[in-house]
Amino acid sequence: MEHRRLGSSPVEVTTLSFGGAAIGGLYAPVSDADVTAAVRRAQERGIGYFDTAPHYGAGRSERRLGAALSGEYVLSTKVGRLLVPLEPGEPPEPEGFTDPPPYKRVWDWSADGIRRSLEESLRRLGVDRVDVVYLHDPDDHEGEVYATAYPALAALRDEGVVGAIGAGMNQTAMLTRFVERLDLDVVLCAGRYTLLDRSAEKDLLPACERRGTSVVIGGAYNSGLLAGGTTYDYAPAPPEMLERVAGLERVCAEHGVPLRAAALRFPLRHPAVASVLVGCRNTAEVDDNAELFEMEIPETLWAEL
């Protein structure tokens, strides 16, 4: 598996990486045994970068990932949400995750909140450090990022507590402002640089090239539509998107390449992109994604797409 460096940091990641939302129970339950087997199979297949967050299953993804990992790997988590125990009788907030643990998510972008979030993540993961920390979904908190959250994260990097810092979002506009105004090693952008949505080409990717900031791409399947599903950006796909996918499938079929393989490889054609994150719930999904990722794709197909 090829490795690429994140910005000017010492951190290198594999070009295919393991996203931890699914193992937190996103949309469907996953057993501990399946998670452990999937993580270990990913390492066997050469996947060396694993991403998680407190938000994913209210800490469940971090606990499971930490318990399953062994040997050498690169690990990232995120800050911005603290997990607070529910009061007696207080209902859980699933936020898309099944059977959530008894915690609620509380936004905290203060300097103390950033450090506390990381410390709590380290305890759940069972490790003494992570390689990368992202500011997670600060869509409604841009001012707090500049005032307190980014300075706290930069201090952690300066102290050597983490190797690289960044921000992760589903939009490009704010990420682009962060790249231009802050000293970030990497950004994680979900769903905005795919075969169906190339909006990151307009602002984020050029800014990252200018600044030497790396990009990790999540949501390469646009929440399922490019992988044979009917969901686009977490909602039922409109008819025009279904028609576009059918057209992409026809072009790929003419070249003997599954659309999913093209979807996984496409983001890496941009020089700023370091890795593509994909969620896997079991060993079969790990093997399937790894095999798709390793397929040879002819230049003629990219030209037609």
Q: How is residue 50 written in tokens?
A: 């694993």
Q: For CA atoms 164, 169, 171, 175, give the dihedral sign.
A: negative
Catalytic center residues? 56
Tokens of 16: 């295919």
Contacts 24+ apart (CB under 8 A), 195-200: 195/226, 195/248, 195/259, 195/262, 195/263, 195/266, 195/305, 196/222, 196/225, 196/226, 196/232, 196/241, 196/244, 196/245, 196/248, 197/222, 199/172, 200/172
Residue 99 CA to residue 103 CA, distance in Å, equals: 11
